[in-house]
Amino acid sequence: MTTINELTAATSFSAADQIPLWSKDAQDTQRGTLAQLVAFLQGALTFTGQNMAQQFAAPSATGFTVTVSAADSWLVLTPTAGFAAGTIVLPAVRSSQQRVMVNCTQSVTALTVSGAGTTVTGAPTTLAANAFFTMAYDGVTNAWYRVG
């Protein structure tokens, strides 16, 4: 039997190239193409940002409050200027593993991220111009955690 170290190294790949795999269903070693592998992975993986509702807010004064309307949202925050204070309220209706992504085009010196009745861990307390962050909700601990 050939070991992996005895095989010639590939220098490039094409969709028709074949790879070995063990099929649990057939209980046998089989082969598949890279195109089949890509198709399988595209159907099995969920990427951050996919199917997120987009929400826009353009606060015009310091002390603003923006409530994110739903979990799995991307909030694009475009304040009219840099402000001393602002609050982002995370969704009151949520389920485990939902996320909220936030982008902000202006600075916010004192930022509060409210969990709408839940714990918020690791949220930023200030935002520079063009800063961003992502919060994910965990249903077991009933808390939002900063994940990006």
SS3 for 43-105 is HHCCCCCCCCEEEEECCCCCCEEEECCCCCEEEEECCCCCEEEEEEECCCCCCCCCEEEEEEC
Structure tokens, 32? 């598949």
Residue 68 has pLDDT above 70, yes or no: yes
Residue 48 has pLDDT above 70, yes or no: no
Q: What is the pLDDT of residue 1?
A: 64
Residue 56 has pLDDT above 80, yes or no: yes
Per mean pLDDT, which range of 6-20, 32-46, 50-64 is the poorest? 32-46
Task: Check residue 63 and give left, alpha or beta (phi > 0: left; psi -120 to 50: alpha).
Answer: left
Confidence of residue 17 (pLDDT cuts 50, 70, 90): confident
Q: What is the pLDDT of residue 9?
A: 81
- Cα of 28 vs its chain's centroid, Å: 37
Residues 6+ apart with CB under 8 A from 74: 49, 52, 53, 54, 55, 100, 101, 102, 103
Q: What is the pLDDT of residue 11?
A: 83
Q: What is the pLDDT of residue 52?
A: 85
Amino acid at 26: A
